[in-house]
Amino acid sequence: TEKEIELYYRTVLHVVSTAGKVVNEGFLGKKRVETKAGAADLVTEFDQRVEEILIKKLQEEFPTHKFIAEESAASGVKTTFGDDPTWIIDPIDGTTNFVHGFPFVAISIALAIKKQVVIGVIFNPVLDLLYSAVHGKGAFKNGRPIRCSGQTELGLSQVAGEYGSSREPDVLSAKCKNLRVIIEKVHSIRAIGSAAMNLCMVAEGSCDAYFEYGIHIWDYAAGDLIAREAGAYTCDPSGGQLNLLHRCILCTASKELAGQISPLLTHVDFPDD
Ligand code: LIP
């Protein structure tokens, strides 16, 4: 019910603000950096600590709810996305930025009920930016409503795209080719290193589009809702319906723009989450 969603929303806002303090502590201090799937896929003790805090606090409040979270998945917990209320958590989206002191890092949390995301919260505690949305209620940045640019012309667009952490030659070639083919047609390309922050950039109108292959459900579940609530359009980069388990997204300030970008892309397949 609406009352329950309000309670979930208030609770998660409180929980991210607490966890944000731990992110900030780690951002400024020394941290232990380890690798996961490859030499450029990084994790720190702060990713794990922040995730533990988030899950613990949400579990205390909502003991029947389920969780999908990046570091739990990395340690072998299988991703099961069912109908139960499920919190989808990336404790630090932009871990490479976090390691290098580049301030685009964010806690990303979505709540899905019956597989539909109803709450999205993205908090960058370093820059003190809180993006949030509840389904049907609009998107907000630090409490103020935001709207996407509405841009319909690719030639007038600023587009965000990423290289990601895979160093697999075929994957890298396709990603470089995609950015190469887009740059030719647009004002500029930006790569700020966080899927969640990229989606917020489209939501607030500072980028007109964002696409990426190889990301995970916790990277884009919250940002997808925030962007849509800000008037943006999201889909599978191949043009079909967005699938949160499908490891990719195209998010644009208008449906027209998606129609111009999608045919230009070389599609890269990753195994579903
Ligand atoms: C990151 C994504 C980013 C992508 C990186 C990485 P993480 O998430 O947000 O868009 O390019 O490879 O997946 O691992 O920092 O949570």
Binding site membership of 90 for ligand 1 (Cβ less than 6 Å): yes
* Residue whose pair of structure tokens reads 């841009």 in the numeric block: 151
User: Residue 2 C-alpha to ligand 1 middle, in angstroms?
Assistant: 32
Model confidence over 210-262: pLDDT tens digits?
A: 999 999 999 999 999 999 999 999 999 999 999 999 999 999 999 999 999 99
Same domain for 133 and 187, yes or no, is no
Binding site membership of 44 for ligand 1 (Cβ less than 6 Å): no
* The pair of three-digit structure tokens given for residue 38, joined into one six-digit string: 């490859």
Q: Which of 94, 121, 146 is the endpoint of a domain? A: 146
Q: What CATH number should be reported for the domain holding residue 54?
A: 3.30.540.10
Domain membership of residue 70 as a residue range: 2-146
* Residue whose pair of structure tokens reads 């609770």 in the numeric block: 11
Same domain for 60 and 129, yes or no, is yes
Distance from C-alpha of 248 to C-alpha of 92, rounded to nearest angstrom: 19
Name the catalytic one among 55, 89, 92, 217.
92
Model confidence over 105-156: pLDDT tens digits?
A: 999 999 999 999 999 999 999 999 999 999 999 999 999 999 999 999 999 9
Q: Coil, helix or strand for 152?
A: coil
Please indicate whether residue 219 is annotated as part of the active site. Answer: yes
Q: Is the pTM of this model over 0.95?
A: yes
**Structural domain count of the chain:** 2
* Residue whose pair of structure tokens reads 């949030």 in the numeric block: 132
Binding site membership of 164 for ligand 1 (Cβ less than 6 Å): yes
Q: Coil, helix or strand for 156?
A: helix
What per-residue confidence (pLDDT) applies to 72? Answer: 92
Complex prediction ipTM: 0.96
Name the catalytic one among 208, 212, 219, 273.
219
Model confidence over 61-102: pLDDT tens digits?
A: 999 999 999 999 999 998 999 999 999 999 999 999 999 999
Q: Coil, helix or strand for 267?
A: coil
What per-residue confidence (pLDDT) applies to 117? Answer: 98
Name the catalytic one among 47, 51, 71, 93.
93
pLDDT band at 1, cuts 50/70/90?
confident
